[in-house]
Amino acid sequence: MSNTSSVLEFKSSTFFTPILILFNNDIAAIEQSLQEKISLAPDFFKNSPLIIDVRELNKSDLDISINEVTDMLRKIGLFPIGVRGGNERQNKQAQKLSIPVDTGRDNEISHAAHGKNPQKESAVHASESTSVTRDGDDEVTVTAAPKAPELSDSAIQTVPVRSMLITQPVRSGQRIYAHGDLVVMSQVSAGAEIMAEGNIHVYNSLRGRALAGVQGNTSARIFCLDLQAELVSIAGDYKTSEHIAKQMQKKPAQVYLQDHTLIIKEIA
């Protein structure tokens, strides 16, 4: 895989990093408590990267200096690589120390200290996966924008779901799954499969299979500019192309459920 003739290469990867959630702003107490934990598993913590989470502190109005925490952590052999839940001053402190700040989200993630030492050369975004596809066949991997990351599994109920945008053609054999709405700007080929927990919009020809509301959302709809689908489905109710009226074929159309009946209607 390595390309000896090029100088570098960017890759995105996901890995686990311990997150240090602080409940007390007493540096000495934190240090003591950390030392105890480290003595239980010195190899695991040795030179380990760490993300400092001060959200709980800020919730209870307990102030802490990122400079002091960082000094203390570095002294005992840990490498802080991120701060989250910080207030403005703390974020500025972190940035001065060249420590990235995560301001993106508020949902609770408690992946804490399990997993092995992460690869040190990798990126900083830890713990949360932004992948929307499974391994396996050649599915499109969509990396969420940095400011609007996809949700981790544990947070699906608590945080509003964002939509996914696909600008490349969805080719035969590809599968795409969106946790929210799915917007496809290009064509969806016969033999492709697009699925969304919310609505599906296809601003081009829809020739493959489109399944909206796959987790049971009966108010989900499918919209497309050119209906030639092999199959359309809303919350499990489906029609194959054989049962899609001829006069609807190759028209801009929407598909929705009304009284448990799948309606396919031209968008006039």
Q: Rounded to the nearest whole angstrom, what is the least distance from the CB of residue 207 to another protein in the complex?
A: 8
In terms of CB distance, is 143 or 215 closer to another protein? 143
In terms of CB distance, is 107 or 131 closer to another protein? 131
Do 251 and 226 form a contact (C-beta atoms < 8 A)? Answer: yes
Round to whole Å and give the CA distance between 155 and 52. Answer: 20
Round to whole Å and give the CA distance between 141 and 131. Answer: 7
Q: Rounded to the nearest whole angstrom, what is the least distance from the CB of residue 191 to another protein in the complex?
A: 6
Q: What is the dihedral of CA 76, 80, 84, 86, to 10 degrees?
A: 60
In terms of CB distance, is 9 or 88 closer to another protein? 9
Q: Rounded to the nearest whole angstrom, what is the least distance from the CB of residue 193 to another protein in the complex?
A: 11
Q: Rounded to the nearest whole angstrom, what is the least distance from the CB of residue 32 to another protein in the complex?
A: 44
Contacting positions for another protein (CB under 8 A):
1-5, 9-12, 138-141, 143, 168-174, 187, 189-192, 205, 207
Do 18 and 53 form a contact (C-beta atoms < 8 A)? Answer: no
Q: How many CB atoms lie within 10 A of CB 91?
A: 20
Q: Rounded to the nearest whole angstrom, what is the least distance from the CB of residue 189 to another protein in the complex?
A: 5
Residue with tokens 């080719």: 171
Q: Rounded to the nearest whole angstrom, what is the least distance from the CB of residue 165 to another protein in the complex?
A: 16
Do 197 and 161 form a contact (C-beta atoms < 8 A)? Answer: yes
In terms of CB distance, is 94 or 170 closer to another protein? 170
Ranges assigned E (strand) in the chain: 19-21, 49-53, 79-84, 101-102, 164-166, 175-178, 182-184, 193-196, 200-206, 209-212, 222-227, 231-234, 237-240, 253-258, 261-266
In terms of CB distance, is 2 or 39 closer to another protein? 2
In terms of CB distance, is 139 or 237 closer to another protein? 139
The strand pair at 79-84 and 49-53 is best described as parallel
